[in-house]
């Protein structure tokens, strides 16, 4: 079977937005809540407080995102919900009125598409919420409710709010706020398929699927793919699976997953023993123990051989998300760790995803701290924004950085060097994670050219030829990286 994935994703740079925290509209809008008591924007977020970000605010920042080089946005959930993160869905057909409702979302999709920016929504199809109408009916009417078989009811009475009694229904991760759907019920399955179709017809460019590994009904995700792709063959379907995802990446289900198998070794390599274990220990990925270049190279080679190449090119690669601490905080505030990891992210096959605020140096420990309000311009780290812009521009300028093959050239001690090759276009990326400058010299095979223009970074580089062999010498400053190429 020939695997097909959406072509645009291979050339995308994603930006992940947590809608309550990215931007509040500055324009006069028709708001339902005119005098809401929002939590102060710059204060530490709380688990239940709202800061009042909305979709109009996103529209007003599209120029900024375009200048950054972003051409795709992944939104964490936007549907009506009684939680600031909106993973507790009340109504899958209504965009939350706090965000501006369906009208604001229509305006946003049109504004994004005018700028050639794709829009991917978060699909929370494993569970709903206590406030979801169908479940609410069960709470009101007990076994008499016509919706009983839509959920996994285990006994009566249900206790949706009082923890002194058993919930008597299955909640995701034993959380009674999140009743799990009974996906074996054909009505439930059809309901979810129709939601997926509805928003693709509305104009979204894909779905990011929340905890899809929880849904074990045979054929569910195959049907989901078939029905979404029947409407838009180029729609992107990406699953939140943190570990080995071969089960879902066989070409019949997802186009990619959130690639934490890239995240973990990349952080372990670039941040090393700076990693704050408190920020990573209870997560489903292991950015520890520290890795040196040879071990990092082995893990990356293993990852690149795990899935078909067509799938590798549509993986969603990331350094942080709403489910993790931000890399700056994981690395104990070490800015070099973040720059080195960002260099590796933006030169890796697959679609890089930047978590809002990372590009201006926003810190954040585990949730809720990692979901802070996007900082005011006065608090931006300008140098961090500058290297993000530069690396994203290089990725857009050189097709080899997007779809070229990946070849490790050298991996010893603290120095890791690889090439991205597409036809005659060849680039070399080198990273030194050590705290001392390192001179290295090694034979390069498999390249037709000798890339020598410093496109990024400040290393010293030189080539020499002995007989049939080409040797590259690099002097890499401490905690730095570079990209060598030819002028475009």
Q: What is the pLDDT of residues 82-114, one digit of tens each?
A: 999 999 999 999 999 999 999 999 999 999 999
Q: Looking up tokens 């390192």, which residue turns up?
A: 438
Query: In sequence order, which residues have a C-beta less than 8 Å from that of residue 43 and are 6 or more positions away?
Result: none
Task: Give the pairing of strands 206-209 and 236-239.
Answer: parallel
Using CA atoms, how far apart are residues 395 and 389, in angstroms rounded to an integer? Answer: 10
DSSP 366: S
pLDDT, tens digit, for every residue of 138-153?
A: 999 999 999 999 999 9
Confidence of residue 31 (pLDDT cuts 50, 70, 90): confident
pLDDT, tens digit, for every residue of 221-264?
A: 999 999 999 999 999 999 999 999 999 999 999 999 999 999 99
Residue 132: name the closest of 179, 176, 170, 97 by CA: 179
Task: Give the pairing of strands 79-81 and 453-456.
Answer: unpaired
- Residue among 96, 122, 210, 339 flagged as catalytic: 210
Domain-wise residue ranges, the chain: 7-126+181-397, 403-485
- Is 30's pLDDT higher than 80? no
- Residue 200 has a pLDDT of 99
Percent of the chain with pLDDT over 90: 96
What mean pLDDT comes out for the span 402-428? 98
- Residue 37 has a pLDDT of 86
What mean pLDDT comes out for the span 300-309? 98
- Residue among 39, 96, 205, 240 flagged as catalytic: 240
Using CA atoms, how far apart are residues 435 and 438, in angstroms rounded to an integer? Answer: 9
Using CA atoms, how far apart are residues 251 and 311, in angstroms rounded to an integer? Answer: 8
CA dihedral over 334, 339, 340, 346, signed as positive or negative: positive
Decide yes or no: CATH 1.10.3720.10 for domain 403-485. no
- Residue 316 has a pLDDT of 98
Choose the weakest-confidence range: 25-29, 145-149, 171-175, 352-356.
25-29
Confidence of residue 35 (pLDDT cuts 50, 70, 90): confident
- Is 181's pLDDT higher than 80? yes
DSSP 177: T
- Residue 486 has a pLDDT of 85
Conformational region of residue 442, where left means phi above 0, alpha means psi within -120 to 50, and beta covers everything else: beta
Mean residue pLDDT across the chain: 97
Confidence of residue 29 (pLDDT cuts 50, 70, 90): confident
CA dihedral in degrees (319, 322, 327, 333; nearest 10)?
160
Query: Is 42 designated active site?
Result: no
Query: Is 383 designated active site?
Result: no
What mean pLDDT comes out for the span 11-30? 94
pLDDT, tens digit, for every residue of 361-377?
A: 999 999 999 999 999 99
What is the CATH class of 7-126+181-397?
Answer: alpha beta
DSSP string, 220-234: HHHHHHHHHHHH-TT
Choose the weakest-confidence range: 35-44, 120-129, 202-211.
35-44
Let me know how many helices (H) and strands (E) the chain has, helices first.
14, 18
Confidence of residue 459 (pLDDT cuts 50, 70, 90): very high
- Residue 281 has a pLDDT of 85
The answer to whether residues 316 and 423 touch, using CB atoms and an 8 Å cutoff, is no
- Is 266's pLDDT higher than 80? yes
Asked if the bond preceding 373 is cis, omega within 30° of 0, the reply is no
The answer to whether residues 263 and 341 touch, using CB atoms and an 8 Å cutoff, is no
Using CA atoms, how far apart are residues 255 and 93, in angstroms rounded to an integer? Answer: 24
DSSP 180: B
Using CA atoms, how far apart are residues 128 and 161, in angstroms rounded to an integer? Answer: 15
């Amino acid at each position: 079977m020939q695997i097909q994935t959406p072509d645009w994703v291979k050339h995308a740079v994603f930006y992940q937005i947590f809608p309550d925290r990215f931007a509040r509209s500055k324009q006069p809008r028709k708001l339902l809540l005119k005098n809401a008591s929002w939590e102060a924007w710059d204060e530490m977020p709380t688990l239940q407080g709202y800061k009042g970000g909305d979709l109009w605010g996103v529209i007003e920042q599209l120029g900024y995102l375009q200048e950054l080089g972003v051409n795709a946005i992944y939104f964490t959930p936007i549907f009506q919900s009684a939680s600031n993160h909106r993973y507790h869905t009340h109504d899958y057909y209504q965009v939350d009125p706090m965000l501006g409702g369906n009208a604001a979302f229509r305006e946003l999709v049109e504004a994004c598409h005018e700028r050639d920016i794709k829009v991917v929504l978060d699909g929370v199809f494993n569970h709903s919420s206590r406030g979801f109408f169908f479940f609410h009916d069960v709470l009101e009417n007990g076994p008499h409710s016509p919706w009983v078989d839509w959920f996994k009811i285990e006994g009566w009475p249900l206790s949706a709010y009082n923890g002194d009694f058993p919930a008597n229904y299955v909640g995701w991760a034993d959380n009674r706020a999140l009743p799990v759907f009974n996906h074996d019920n054909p009505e439930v399955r059809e309901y979810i398929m129709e939601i997926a179709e509805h928003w693709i017809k509305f104009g979204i460019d894909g779905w990011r699927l929340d905890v899809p590994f929880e849904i074990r009904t045979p054929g569910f995700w195959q049907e989901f793919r078939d029905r979404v792709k029947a409407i838009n063959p180029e729609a992107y379907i990406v699953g939140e699976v943190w570990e080995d995802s071969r089960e879902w990446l066989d070409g019949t289900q997802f186009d990619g997953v959130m690639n934490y198998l890239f995240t973990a070794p990349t952080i372990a390599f670039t941040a090393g023993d700076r990693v704050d274990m408190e920020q990573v220990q209870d997560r489903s990925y292991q950015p520890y123990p520290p890795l040196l270049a040879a071990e990092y190279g082995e893990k990356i080679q293993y990852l690149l051989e795990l899935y078909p190449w067509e799938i590798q090119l549509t993986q969603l690669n990331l350094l942080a998300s709403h489910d993790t601490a931000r890399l700056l905080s994981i690395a104990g505030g070490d800015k070099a760790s973040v720059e080195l990891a960002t260099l590796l992210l933006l030169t890796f096959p697959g679609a890089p995803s930047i978590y809002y605020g990372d590009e201006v140096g926003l810190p954040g420990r585990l949730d809720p701290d990692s979901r802070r309000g996007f900082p005011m311009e006065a608090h931006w780290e300008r140098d961090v924004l500058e290297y993000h812009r530069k690396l994203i521009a290089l990725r857009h300028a050189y097709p080899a950085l997007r779809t070229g093959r990946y070849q490790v050239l050298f991996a010893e001690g603290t120095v890791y060097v690889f090439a991205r090759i597409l036809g005659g276009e060849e680039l070399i990326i080198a990273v030194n994670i050590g705290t001392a400058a390192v001179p290295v010299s090694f034979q390069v095979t498999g390249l037709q050219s000798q890339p020598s223009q410093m496109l990024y970074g400040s290393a010293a580089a030189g080539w020499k030829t002995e007989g049939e062999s080409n040797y590259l010498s690099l002097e890499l400053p401490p905690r730095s990286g570079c990209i060598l190429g030819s002028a475009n």
